[in-house]
A and B are shown apart, each in its own frame.
Chain A
């Protein structure tokens, strides 16, 4: 995995995550090395249970590795305490989950502004930023809706807006289209495309080859380890929908 960009935003060396002991030992992530450059979009592919999500959690400091190192923007994070990790997640990492993980009792606007409020922004600045982001994801008219009143695609767009709230160094997306229909997948892909164009670093975990094809680089994973890496020359430029087979 040597095709790292000149400046690595995210770097992993010998990363391992094991569960259980003895005969029941499971190596969810098994000696992964990874470099992700600024502005790069990387897709991690593989079948269910191959360790993709675990890898993403390790990279974002949500989980602790059993061994190896993780570096974010030149700072080693695998040995940070929980408090420091939380502070790092506030400002440097944005998460997008397959099942959206929106707060059911908060409106779309309140969900998006939550990250900014946790990061200590003023209520007014957080609200303004959330409004701008919802406009960017095309949901300005749904800002006051509760998640239960939104479609799956709209909920995921709210989640993406929330991930961008604190202008993170990297957005980590875990099966972001896993629960969406084709039209909603296209919406989300277009959104990622715009993020890519704006220079946002993205790591997308997916088992959907059409999504992976939109990345700069595609890494295949099996049994916790990287088995293949492909640099996609076309990236996500051009007619995105047609490219991924979602449109005629």
Chain B
């Protein structure tokens, strides 16, 4: 039985979420699992539910063209909480964050070019549609 392993388990066994956050290994690379406390998860859930209520409530207020941006802004905040806490990215290897953010980056590039393209050609499409009618 490895000394590292024994220490690793002893730290976790009592269920104290904070015990596992420190450096558990003698050799410095054995951190053990990071256990998120229940109160933190419940707090994140409460925030997510509150933001859901908020995003529905905002639709009852006419903000003109701002409505879509408010709704998406709330969605971004909600997803940030999900990703950072539920999906554990806050405590993960930064490399996972790099992967996640690069996926978002490429979606943004994809959307940006598609929107530029459709905006560019919209007048000619409209003209073509109106003449064929």
Partners in one complex: no
- By a beta-carbon cutoff of 8 Å, the part of chain A in contact with chain B is none
